[in-house]
Chain A
Amino acid sequence: EAQVTQNPRYLITVTGKKLTVTCSQNMNHEYMSWYRQDPGLGLRQIYYSMNVEVTDKGDVPEGYKVSRKEKRNFPLILESPSPNQTSLYFCASSETRYTEAFFGQGTRLTVV
């Protein structure tokens, strides 16, 4: 089954403790991206990747890192999480940036 898998689904952590949210797709898609969703602000892009080893910043990249060492995986790294990074995070992939997007199930992160 074609899917985008994020882990974990729920995470509560403390300020400053490094964490990684994983994202994996099984569709051989070139384009992957990370979004955060906040009440009243909607979805905003954090980072995107055009292909292996090609990544770039979206609208809200501060406090986040990404890597794309393999085509299927696009982890989101928070080196020193802060409470303002409490949010619902989505990973998405598409064959190219011009084609339909497939979204992961979401990761609800709480930083206390």
Chain B
Amino acid sequence: KNEVEQSPQNLTAQEEEFITINCSYSVGISALHWLQQHPGGGIVSLFMLSSGKKKHGRLIATINIQEKHSSLHITASHPRDSAVYICAVRSLGAGSYQLTFGKGTKLSVIP
């Protein structure tokens, strides 16, 4: 079973700071998801990656398949970015039917 580790667990940043959240996993995957969960609970899919890099607005996600590692970057952070960011992986083979989740990174952006 894939083990997914996120770091840091908690992160406090000043507005406009550049933020990086890391995710590592233990076995090969077919895809990695970055999710955002705001206070109040709703979950939104930010990115799905299987290689390389994706960008959406101020958010950038990268993945290194060989190193089993992904990063989520937020440029020019804003208080509305305050949320829990969750990494999830879909393993290869029989494991591809399920997503395995990290425990999340709680981000607080202070004005």
Residues of A at the B interface (CB closer than 8 Å) are 33, 40-45, 48, 50, 56, 58-59, 88, 90, 92, 97-103, 105-106, 108
Contact = CB atoms under 8 A, between A and B. Distances in A.
Interface of B: 30-31, 33, 35, 41-45, 48, 86, 88, 90, 96-99, 101-104
A92 B45 CA distance: 11
A42 B101 contact: yes
A101 B86 CA distance: 13
Contacts of A50: 97
B41 to A, nearest CB: 4
Contacts, number: 51
A77 B24 CA distance: 34
Given A43-B88, A97-B90, A103-B44, 8 more contacts: A41-B103, A42-B102, A59-B98, A101-B33, A103-B35, A103-B43, A103-B45, A108-B41
B99 A45 contact: yes
A45 B98 contact: yes
A50 B45 CA distance: 20
27 contacts: A33-B99, A40-B103, A42-B101, A42-B103, A42-B104, A43-B86, A43-B101, A44-B101, A48-B97, A50-B97, A56-B97, A58-B98, A59-B98, A88-B41, A90-B43, A97-B97, A98-B30, A98-B31, A98-B90, A98-B96, A101-B33, A101-B45, A103-B42, A103-B45, A105-B41, A106-B42, A106-B43
